[in-house]
């Protein structure tokens, strides 16, 4: 009996000490599915967009398009007065015919030594110059016809027959809206997860029941130093032409196959601009550790650095936990993997 007394007293003292430890509830840091979901506001742009302007100063002879018309690339939109241009082409063609004829005669005489080699070269140079003048005249004549540079939908007509137009005159606009480019800004924190091919969905106030789907095509090479955001561009098919350039869209960026190390949101203790958690080791001793967080969703936070999967963090009882002291773990919260 005397030998059992010291061991019994030691056991009793240990139980009293453990009962005095603060009780806490912990949860494990786990790697789980954490789909990338970023919401932003985007501005719609046409796949291709241009203001139609003539290349020469002339009067409008004929307008060959209707407002809002869908046209193909190369379609004639406007014909300008071309009397002088046609006359210039005719004169240049006649001059070329004459110089080419003189060159042929000189080549025949060259065989009989009646024309020198230098004279023959001069006639060849003249013939080539006249051909270049004809090409220039035909190009100016071609400029009197205004064509669509690509397929798309025309805007409002801004000229009338007889108007004097020039390179500063906007005839109409042309937009290729079969595909819509959507530019939107996202926080730099998700930059590492951005890549071409990510799926996006967009909604418009004009078409509240429709969801427009597309994918990311490019990410800007620069981050805005003021807003700390990066511009992302997506392409959205627009076969029914519901979306128009300039529309304001609500964008959701999605990536389903993303996993992340997460902990319960209530485990975080903020101190100024820093984030801390109380980590409970295998011996139930508390360690206060700074972590760096990423995205959030209801009840959970992504941990970018500072924790390892499987480590336990205090979710309830953080006020009583002290770094370097033991705690009594009442419960370990179950979390989905």
- Domains of the chain and any CATH numbers: 22-35+259-333 (2.40.420.20), 37-48+175-255 (2.40.30.170), 54-80+144-170 (2.40.50.100), 82-143 (1.10.287)
Q: Whats the size of the chain, residue-wise? A: 337
Whether 176 has a pLDDT exceeding 60, the answer reads: yes
For residue range 178-235, list pLDDT tens digits in order. Answer: 999 999 999 888 888 888 988 999 999 999 999 999 999 999 999 999 999 999 999 9
Q: Rounded to whole angstroms, how far apart are CA atoms 220 and 189?
A: 14
Whether 306 has a pLDDT exceeding 70, the answer reads: yes
Whether 261 has a pLDDT exceeding 70, the answer reads: yes
Q: Give residue 5's pLDDT.
A: 41
Q: Rounded to whole angstroms, how far apart are CA atoms 207 and 12?
A: 73
Whether 295 has a pLDDT exceeding 90, the answer reads: no
Q: Rounded to whole angstroms, how far apart are CA atoms 260 and 32?
A: 6
Query: What confidence tier does 257 reach under pLDDT thresholds 50, 70, 90?
Result: confident
Q: What is the rounded average pLDDT for all residues in the chain?
A: 87
Query: What confidence tier does 144 reach under pLDDT thresholds 50, 70, 90?
Result: very high
Q: Give residue 6's pLDDT.
A: 43
Q: Rounded to whole angstroms, how far apart are CA atoms 69 and 141?
A: 26
Verdict on whether the full-model pTM lies above 0.85: no
Q: Give residue 337's pLDDT.
A: 52
Least confident of 11-25, 125-139, 258-272, 291-305: 11-25
For residue range 9-41, list pLDDT tens digits in order. Answer: 344 434 343 557 888 989 999 998 888 788 899
With 0-12 CB in 10 A as exposed, 13-18 as middle and 19+ as buried, what is 312? buried
Q: Give residue 336's pLDDT.
A: 59
Please tell me what DSSP assigns to residue 70: E
Between 289 and 7, the higher pLDDT residue: 289
Average pLDDT on 285-308 reads 90
For residue range 81-137, list pLDDT tens digits in order. Answer: 999 999 999 999 999 998 888 887 877 776 676 667 777 788 788 888 989 999 999
* Pair 267, 27: CB distance under 8 Å: yes
Q: Which residues contact 280 (CB under 8 A, 6 or more apart)?
A: 24, 26, 286, 287, 312, 313, 314, 327, 329
Helices and strands, counts by H and E, the chain? 3, 21
With 0-12 CB in 10 A as exposed, 13-18 as middle and 19+ as buried, what is 37? middle
Q: Give residue 3's pLDDT.
A: 47
User: What are residue 158's DSSP bridge partners?
Assistant: none
């Amino acid at each position: 009996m005397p030998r059992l007394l010291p061991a019994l007293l030691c056991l009793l003292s240990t139980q009293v000490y453990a009962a005095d430890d603060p009780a806490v509830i912990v949860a494990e840091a786990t790697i789980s599915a954490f789909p990338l979901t970023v919401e932003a506001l985007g501005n719609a742009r046409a796949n291709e967009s241009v203001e139609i302007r003539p290349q020469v100063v002339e009067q409008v002879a004929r307008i060959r398009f209707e407002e809002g018309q869908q046209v193909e690339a190369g379609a004639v939109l406007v014909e300008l007065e071309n009397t002088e241009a046609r006359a210039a082409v005719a004169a240049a063609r006649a001059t070329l015919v004459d110089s080419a004829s003189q060159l042929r005669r000189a080549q025949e005489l060259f065989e009989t030594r009646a024309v020198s080699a230098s004279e023959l070269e001069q006639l060849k140079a003249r013939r080539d110059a006249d051909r270049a003048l004809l090409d220039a005249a035909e190009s100016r004549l071609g400029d009197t016809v205004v064509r669509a540079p690509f397929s798309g939908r025309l805007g409002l007509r801004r000229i009338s027959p007889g108007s004097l137009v020039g390179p500063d005159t906007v005839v109409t606009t042309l937009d290729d809206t079969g595909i819509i480019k959507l530019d939107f800004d996202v926080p730099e924190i998700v930059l590492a997860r951005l890549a071409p091919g990510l799926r996006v969905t967009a909604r418009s106030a004009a078409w509240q029941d429709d969801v427009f789907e597309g994918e990311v095509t490019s990410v800007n090479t620069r981050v805005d130093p003021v807003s700390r955001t990066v511009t992302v561009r997506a392409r959205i098919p627009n076969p029914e032409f519901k979306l128009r350039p300039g529309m304001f869209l609500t964008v959701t960026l999605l990536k389903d196959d993303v996993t992340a190390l997460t902990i319960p949101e209530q485990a975080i203790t903020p101190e100024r601009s820093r984030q801390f958690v109380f980590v409970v080791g295998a011996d139930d001793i508390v360690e206060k550790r700074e972590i760096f967080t990423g995205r959030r969703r209801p009840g959970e936070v992504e941990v970018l650095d500072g924790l390892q999967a499987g480590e336990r963090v205090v979710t309830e009882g953080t006020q009583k936990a002290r770094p370097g002291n033991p705690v009594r773990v009442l419960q370990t919260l179950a979390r989905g993997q």
